[in-house]
Structure 1
Amino acid sequence: MACDGCSASAKLDFEFSMAFQPIYDAVAGRVWGYEALVRGLSGEGAYDVLSKVSPEQKYRFDQDCRVKAIELASRLFPADEELMLSINFMPNAVYEPAACLRATLLAARRCSFPTSSIMFEFTENEEVSDTAHLRNIITEYRKHGFTTAIDDFGAGHAGLGLLVDFQPDLIKIDMKLIRGIDTSPVRQAVAAGIVGIAKELNITVLAEGIETEAEFLVLKATGIRLFQGYWFAKPAFEALPQIHSGSVLDRV
């Protein structure tokens, strides 16, 4: 049973599904997991879908996205591989952390999908005014074995301030910092600083938005292990795309 706030949320008057984009582990040389990205039924992008969500529907939408991602992942993920499923969530769409997790936990149980294989990421681009509420969310999620992550790190409302208030399991460096990093000593220095801070705090770093081999090699040299972006594979609608071969990935 959901919390009262989620139950009272307006029903969705549109349908949606998910695309999946791989996250590559450069040390293990394999796919670490997949991020579930919301899409329209005809493959429309996230912006198109999100533009249909009214303020009265955001709680229901957040819940339904989690369930859809778990259902699809349980069907698509190979049974003999340990893969992480990364799901975006909106902190402002969570009324009460424990109650709002019920639908997620029920879906995981129904689909026999381990909670230890689920990562919830929230973006800096959504301003969270109630930091105590976000801290309670992260604490509750960790009780159930979920991994927590900050998306778009280095852009948005906070940045390093979030690491002072919260210590997630993983941070995803924003693609704006990544773009052209191979020719920018300043960007390289900032990335190295983030990696150093994360190491001290025992936080894993993921570089997202990788579009070139040069970006990948420079970031890998800083000690980053996890990578995501079009250079590896574009998101695939209701499917798991393959990491491209015949590249430097075959030699790392």
Structure 2
Amino acid sequence: MARALNRRLPDRIRGAGTLYLWLRRGRTALRVARRLSATGREHEFIDACARIPLGEGVVQVCTADLCSALSEAEAQDTRALFIPGDGVPQLPDFARMTSLHALDVLARSGWLLDQLAEGRFISFFHPIVHAEDIDRVFAHEALLRGVERDGSIVAPQPILTLAREAGLLSEVDSAACRSAIREAARQGPQCVFINFSPAAIRDPEAHLNSTVQAIEEVALPRERVVFEVTEADRYGDTPRLQQVLNAYRRAGFRVALDDLGAGWSTLNLVHRVRPDFIKLDRELIRGVHDDPVKALIARKLLEIGHGMGIGTVVEGIEVEAELSWVRENGADFVQGFLLGKPSPVVRS
């Protein structure tokens, strides 16, 4: 796996070399020149081309620094070419010319590829408790975290943002799923909610097969696994999504639909997908006790869940008033920082 992943980032972008930038706008050239001077980076301009010698492993730092000084449109408009060593561009090299933005994503993805190749993803577990008895844990949601080589923890957002930009979302989703399965098997008897983004999976059938294999390897009972469908609105093909989720159900897993109330498309999926659980969106629940419109929408969603025999999970509970409101309106389960924070160890 490591060899295949590292092929996504050519060695010529990892080492020392020279970065060439072709700047189409005068103001862009001025911003680049000021940024290079401010950082003390060696450079020279030849007409509209900037030549920047870079040492080993500096490409990522330099491209990120330059992109931060430019607008996204300027970074997209600036053409970039990295030449290894002390060489100068030859005619065949120009086939690799790309935008500064794309080169920055490619350079930064080396960090993510290393995370994937070295298996440095772990899961934190966020408790989901019974609404009427918050001391009773029903399940835990497995949440992605990265681990740097020095042991420091990496939050999920930069991982997912970079994965999306670099076209590695499917690999990250699969790695997160394997981590959740592996660690949930060691933790305890409760159910585990594993985030599952159909939009990130290139081959749903292959993903299901690899998931089943991972679960069987650690002897995790399938009835304890709930796949929490995220970003369902990005998938676009509702009939296909139904087929995918039905396949997971036939394999013995349960399904939850996340972010209900965040948009019409997710709500429209409830009657089509008929999930085992629905999770009400945290933005809808924030301040629900003080907002009559939010209260009306949330109350109706809870009624829909109960009417269809679907378990209801309200997430984002942060204050006692929100907890009181969802209890009064019949939520089955609740989740949020008021009730417990994500931790590498599950709550019994």
Same fold (TM > 0.5)? yes
Which residue does 1:48 correspond to in 2?
158
The DSSP-based 3-state class of the residue aligned with 1:168 is: coil
How far apart are 1:56 and its partner, in Å? 3.5
Letter of the 1:56 partner, please give it. Answer: G
1:125 Cα deviation after fit: 6.4
Q: TM-score, structure 1 length as denominator?
A: 0.84
Structure 2 equivalent of residue 166 of structure 1:
273
Identity of aligned residues (%): 33
Amino acid at match of 1:35: E
Q: 1:43–1:156: structure 2 CA closer, same or farther, 3 Å change rule?
A: farther
Aligned mates of 1:12, 1:211 — CA distance in 2: 35
Of 16, 37, 49, which aligns to 2:143?
37
Give the Å deviation of 1:143. 0.3
1:127, 1:157 within 8 Å by CA — same for their partners in 2?
no
Looking at secondary structure, tell me which structure has more helix per residue: 2
Greater CA deviation, 38-47 or 55-64? 55-64
State the distance in 2 between where 1:75 and 1:200 align.
36
Give aligned pairs, total: 230
Larger Rg: 2
Q: How does 1:207-246 map to 2 (within 5 A)?
A: 207-236=314-343, 238-241=344-347
The superposition leaves residues 116-167 of structure 1 with CA deviations (integer Å, 9 ceiling, x where unpaired) of 1011111246512111221111100100111111111111461321123321
Confirm or deny: 8 A CA contact 1:125 1:157 kept in the other structure: no
Q: Secondary structure at the match of 1:148?
A: strand
Counterpart position of 2:294: 187
Cα displacement (A) at 1:185: 2.4
Cα offsets for 1:192-229 (capped at 9, x unmatched): 11111112211111000000111011101111010000
Q: CA deviation at 1:51?
A: 2.5
Paired position in structure 2 for 1:248? none
Amino acid at match of 1:67: R
What is residue 4 of structure 1 aligned with on the other side?
none
Unaligned runs of 5+ residues in structure 2 are 9-111
Aligned partners of 1:150 and 1:168 also within 8 Å? yes
Task: Supply the distance in 1 between the matched residues of 2:202 and 2:132 (Cα, whole angstroms).
Answer: 39
One-letter code aligned to 1:122: V
Instruction: Tell me which amino acid in the other structure corresponds to 1:17.
Output: I
Q: Aligned partners of 1:125 and 1:156: how far apart in 2?
A: 11
User: Counterpart of 1:235 in 2: which secondary structure?
Assistant: coil
Give the aligned partner of residue 73 of structure 1: 184
* Secondary structure in structure 2 of the residue aligned to 1:211: coil
Aligned twin of 2:130: 25
Listed as ranges, the matches of 1:104-119 within 5 Å are 104-119=211-226
How high is the TM-score relative to the length of structure 2? 0.62
Residue 198 (structure 1) aligns with? 305
Decide whether the 8 Å contact of 2:198 with 2:232 is kept in 1: no
Q: Which amino acid aligns with 2:216?
A: R
Moved more, 109-118 or 43-52: 43-52
Name the counterpart of 2:114. Answer: 13
For 2:132 and 2:226, the matched residues in 1 are separated by 20
Letter paired with 1:47: Q
Q: Which range moved further: 194-203 or 139-148?
A: 194-203
Partner of 1:57: 168
Which residue of structure 1 lines up, in the alignment, with residue 196 of structure 2?
89
Q: How well do the aligned residues superpose, as a CA RMSD in angstroms? A: 2.2
CA distance in 1, matches of 2:122, 2:203: 26
Structure 2: distance between partners of 1:13 and 1:144? 32
* Residue identity opposite 1:107 in structure 2: A
Offset of residue 13 of structure 1 = 2.9
